[in-house]
Chain A
Amino acid sequence: MSDATASSLIVPRRAGSQAWWNAVNAWLLLLPGAVLLIAFTHFPILATIRHSLFITRRNGTEAFVGLDSYRSMAADPIFWKALVNNFWFALGTIPTSIALALVMAVWVNRNIRGRGFLRLAYFTPTVLPMIAVANIWLFFYTPDYGLLDQLRGLFGLAGWNWLGDPSTVMGCLIVMVIWKEAGFFMIFYLAALQQLSPDLDEAASIEGASRWYTFRRVTFPLLMPTTLFVAINAVINSFKLVDHLVIMTKGGPNNASTLLLYYIYEVAFTFQDSSYAATLTVVLLMLLSAIALIKFGYLDRRIHYQ
């Protein structure tokens, strides 16, 4: 598209300068995007890396400390706890929410009654503000008064301190996030399903393939680009959770629900330790870059794009 726009903007001149003009035009068109990207992505990344090598003294002066912050990070049990928590959180949320999204999308793609309503219902959690979601789920999880404990009460079970118990708090967050994410991912799958040609389905049924076989060998492989896209989003989201933690647990009890970004927030704004926060941010950056590399370097080549 940009090629078309570019060539329509310039009057063709002598062949030699044409290529040169094309290049200038291309760069000019890229400029707004590039400026934004450099100003709000690349520059902050470099500044963060630099900042992680310095400490800011209370009187405002900076001092170079090299890798000191990284060494104290390696000795910081809360950091490791946050990292391990984040791993379990990602493992708990990503596969389930993607699978659920796919099932829901296939379901609401059929010709069933109340389809519009169903689609809307699945998508609703996505539209809600994060804080509202946290409050709704607080209403579920509050010990004794919460919906879950009311239900347990019907069966004569005692109340459970869902968010106050280190063994259940992470599970509670995972369930909530799946609830919120699955509907969002469903939309992408639904769009992808509607792009698929009905010929393939027909062909398969003429060949006598069962529905499950068709899904497994035809539909699902064709949905792989969407799955990859959704998976990347899910991974990023699993590192992005802060709002719910602030409202629901503050990372407690005893850091059982602390995730990396929440810890960064706490270090930066509650403890006012920006250089250590920068150090932690660099780790987060490296993690996310590694994931991006796997996507572009490995997964992308193995997927069939139409």
Chain B
Amino acid sequence: MLMAAALAVFSMGARPASAVDLTMYYPVAVGGPVTKIIDDMVSRFEKDNPDIKVTAVYAGNYTDTMTKAMTAMKGGQPPQLSVLLSTDVFTLMDENAIVPFDGLVSDKAWFKEFYPAFMANGQIDGKTWSVPFQRSTIVLYWNKDAFKEAGLDPEKAPASWDEMVEMSKKLVKKDGGNTTRWGVEIPSTGYAYWMLQALAIENGQKMMNEPGNEIYLTAPKTVAALEYWVDLSRKHNVAPAGSIDWATLRTDFLEGKTAMMWHTTGNLTAVKDAAKFQFGVAMLPAKERRGSPTGGGNFYIFKNASPEQQKAAVKFIQWMTAPERAAEWSMKTGYVAVSPAAYKTPAMEAYAKDFPQATVARDQLEHAVPELSVHENGRIYKFVGDAVQAAITGAQKPQEALAAAQAQSDRVLRAYK
């Protein structure tokens, strides 16, 4: 029986000597036919490069994809490359799972083609551990029709926190005791740490240090950021009570259940395709300053891949992130194209002229800071997410909830000092 198994393995391996097989895991965190777009790009790459075969595996959301990749690695069958959160870099380095790109690319000028804000998360100790692919910032989507109906200027999104509350109060629509339209919704499941970080940045507070072993949850300005978020529902009554789901928020916005939403720009095309009303996209409102964390996924190459596979993976990644493809990817999803050159392609220029919303997230990059990235970030994200949900649901005061998360995070991060 062993012989038969061995034979089967060998006969399966009988293919042109030069062919390289790659497996890639990737997540989907936004609406729209993302898997179809990826499959299409992969098959075009294979046509251009017949000696490389890429199996693209959809693996759930970012957390699920990371789980799958790490489990596969521990089982001895890691993928050769994956799209994972840019912030997973510390965990992947700590697990000894990935190789830096520096030794794999001949021309390091390639790294300079990307927006520096997107490279920031992946470059540690002078090495480049990942390159950007589906990158984003948080933007504010607003329903122009609702603004008009509420007597607000439909072309003007709120520019400050106070303004957002004032406008939201006018946008809330009631039918008897029921609220049929909320002013604004900020998602508190899935990526709550990301939204809290946006608010903290706007309030002038950094969330972590560079080496990724400290986090600042109890800083007064972080607490004030969460208080503002909680007040939207508990004090001002312009947002629904309880946690707001990341995945269904887009539907809420499209159905007119909320006049504004904070969400990743990665949803832009899905919103554009489905909205039955005029909508705008704006940078997030400011408190002390404007700001949003960058977000989204990078390409990583795994250590266990053979040298040929690593070389092929780089080739594939360079193909996927080339200006024309980056522009195409941005137009088809809404993610920020990863290089300035992508915005100079004729296709992108024409698209942006027709649909100026497509460049808002990119323009916001000048106010952006790197996404919360620390060691053991899976755990830390959970602590922060729990704290946000405890505060949002009224179980704890923001101060208490964040103090608990800080204490838990400190205990975990102690090992990395």
Contact = CB atoms under 8 A, between A and B. Distances in A.
Interface of A: 58-60, 77-78, 142-145, 153, 156-159, 161, 164-166, 250, 252-256, 266, 269-273
B178 A272 contact: no
Nearest to A166: B393
Given A156-B177, A254-B386, A161 B378 contact: no
The winner among B71, B179, B386, B387 for most chain A CB atoms within 10 A is: B386
B322 to A, nearest CB: 34
The winner among A157, A253, A256 for most chain B CB atoms within 10 A is: A253
A252 B242 contact: no
Contacts of A252: 189, 243, 385-386, 389
Contact of A269 (B67, B91, B386): B67
Contacts of A271: 376, 378-379, 382
A49 B379 CA distance: 23
B248 to A, nearest CB: 7
Nearest 4 interchain pairs by C-beta: A161-B242, A164-B242, A253-B389, A164-B243
A219 to B, nearest CB: 46
B96 interface: yes
Given A77-B404, A269-B70, A254 B389 contact: yes
Contacts of B390: 253-254
Given A252-B385, A253-B189, A266-B382, A58 B178 contact: no
A253 B404 contact: no
B19 interface: no
Given A159-B178, A271-B379, A58 B67 contact: no
Given A58-B95, A254-B395, A158 B179 contact: yes
20 contacts: A58-B95, A142-B248, A145-B251, A156-B176, A159-B178, A161-B240, A164-B244, A165-B241, A252-B385, A253-B242, A253-B389, A253-B390, A254-B389, A254-B395, A254-B396, A269-B67, A269-B71, A271-B376, A271-B378, A271-B379
Nearest to B66: A270
Interface of B: 63, 66-67, 70-71, 74, 91, 94-96, 176-179, 188-189, 240-245, 248, 251-252, 255, 257, 376, 378-379, 382, 385-387, 389-390, 392-393, 395-396, 401, 404, 408
B190 to A, nearest CB: 8
B178 A270 contact: no
The winner among A250, A254, A266, A273 for most chain B CB atoms within 10 A is: A254
A153 B257 CA distance: 15
A158 B176 CA distance: 9
B188 to A, nearest CB: 8
Contacts of B70: 269, 272
Nearest to B91: A272
A58 B96 contact: yes
A272 B74 CA distance: 10
Nearest to A274: B74
Contacts of A157: 178
A264 to B, nearest CB: 13
Contact of A161 (B91, B179, B241): B241
A147 to B, nearest CB: 15
A275 to B, nearest CB: 13
B242 A272 contact: no
Contacts of A142: 248
The winner among B63, B67, B94 for most chain A CB atoms within 10 A is: B67
B178 A253 contact: no
Given A158-B178, A271-B376, A271-B379, A165 B71 contact: no
A271 B88 CA distance: 11
